[in-house]
Amino acid sequence: MAANTSGCCLWFTGLSGAGKTTIATIVVEQLAAAGHRVELLDGDEVREHLSRGLTFSKEDRDTNVRRIGWVAKVLARNGVIAVTAAISPYREIRDEVRATIDNFIEIHVATPFEVCEVRDVKGLYAKARSGDIGQFTGMNDPYEEPISPELRIETAGRTPEESAAEVLTYLRSERSIA
């Protein structure tokens, strides 16, 4: 039996390698185990399935984030907890998406650049440093941190489970979810 929850959007944002998808996946699993209707929209998967062909120009990144936001809005208005995990580097477009979704919860996965680079399992930072990747967020393309996110998770020196627990604690205490 599904828990009685109105829909919302948990918008995880942060640098590549910050831990967005890892933390979001744990949160999704915990919410589903508690009986909530929940769906994960991973930035890499959305880019592969809904945004194939887009480049990493600012215009295309904005288009990708708008697409993720539209899907999250549809899910949330139908009572689903939409969990997004996407770099979404530009504050203006995140705020634009926020304005379209009721019960939008921005979660900044605040991981220092140096820690993200060490964690980089995809080898993207090395490729960006060698020039194989241009417009790499945080290196030669900006990442604009949220000014007032509902939640800021400091991940350096913490396990993904500890970070996910912080999100779930916030949802219980501030939003009566979880």
Residue 66 has pLDDT above 70, yes or no: yes
For the chain, percent helix, then strand, then coil, each to nearest 5?
A: 45, 15, 40
Residue 168 CA to residue 178 CA, distance in Å, equals 6
pTM: 0.92
DSSP string across 49-70: HTSTT--SSHHHHHHHHHHHHH
- Domains parsed from the chain with CATH numbers: 8-175 (3.40.50.300)
| Top-confidence residue, 45 or 104 | 104
Q: Can you give the pLDDT at residue 178?
A: 67
Q: Can you give the pLDDT at residue 63?
A: 92
Provide the residue count of the chain: 178
Task: Please report how the helices 58-77 and 91-100 are oriented relative to each other, as an axis angle in degrees rounded to 10.
Answer: 20
pLDDT band at 1 (very low <50, low <70, confident <90, very high): very low
- 42: β partners: 85
Q: Return the H-helix or E-strand segment holding 93.
A: helix 91-100
Q: Active-site residues: which are they? A: 88
